[in-house]
Amino acid sequence: MFAEMRVSAPAKINLNLKVLPKRADGFHVIESIFQTVRLFDDLLICIEDGKNTCTVECYDMELPEQNTLSAAYKAFCLHTGFDRSVRVRLTKRIPSGGGLGGGSSDAAYFIKALSQLANVRLSSELSNKIAGEVGSDVFFFLCCAHPGCALVTGRGEIVKPIKPRQDIHILLVFPGVHSSTGEAYSLVDKAASEGEFADCPSFEELETVYNGPIVNWTFANSFTPVIARRYPEIGAAIAEVRKAGAVFSDMSGSGSAVFGIFASAGEADIAFHALISKGLKCVAA
């Protein structure tokens, strides 16, 4: 072992998420605003003697043998010629199945670290090739550091960074259910076939809405109504966050984490304690 690096990988929320029909390649088109939040996984990446192996250690949750880190390693090696063995010690704080992009963020920050350890320049073209083989949210995390915000469309590969607001205070609430991304897309497709669509601003309007008064935000999430029908705990959590004083609240991604946007740190702190007192798992982000 001759080199190591520690990195922190942030979670994200989707302030707006419109799901459009599938493309010819099978991926859905989205129109979204991604914003990183202050909830992080930590990675310790060590280059070891030996070749062509990636060992992932995680004591916080059981990871499948084929995970986003092993996929990122495989894609990085394929496109760069890197072949040294790597060991990753992952400390998980971002829950899986929450719509917070934890696995994608882990993969992206692992790729960034590998590029520095291997002295490989991570061009936009190379980043997109690797991200495309790992996961759609990886494009955003490779493009935007924390704090970061971006307009995102295509399957996720079209990322336009915008200036993140400094005047919003975020709470994350975890309703205690696990939402499957595959199931979520199936439910959205079914709803769309029956004429049910999220009432979101147009993609061209997203940045203007984002920079306007939060009380006037008209953002929406195509997944929220269909997932909340399947898991009532999610709708109940959104209602509790709004009752606690959030100016805006919704589910992130395909769920199941819920977020609230507050006008001040003091209001967010009061809401945090109110939500905790009701038995909800909550973190300031």
Known catalytic residues are 12, 137
- Check whether 104 is labelled as a binding-site residue: yes
- Check whether 156 is labelled as a binding-site residue: no
| Coil/strand/helix, residue 76 | helix
- Check whether 135 is labelled as a binding-site residue: no
- Check whether 101 is labelled as a binding-site residue: yes
Q: Which string of DSSP letters, residue by residue, matches 172-184?
A: EEE-S----HHHH
Q: In angstroms, how far is the first alpha carbon of the chain from the final one? A: 35
- Count the helix, strand and coil residues of the chain and give each as a percent rounded to the nearest 5: 35, 30, 35
- Check whether 98 is labelled as a binding-site residue: yes
**Looking up tokens 């993140």, which residue turns up?**
164
Q: What angle do CA 14, 19, 21 make, to 5 degrees?
A: 160
Q: Report in angstroms the alpha-carbon separations of 112 from 6, 64, 66, 139, 193.
A: 11, 22, 20, 12, 40
CB 85 within 8 A of CB 52: yes
CA distance 285 to 235: 20
Q: Which residues are annotated as a binding site for ATP?
A: 95-105
- Residues at the binding site are 95-105
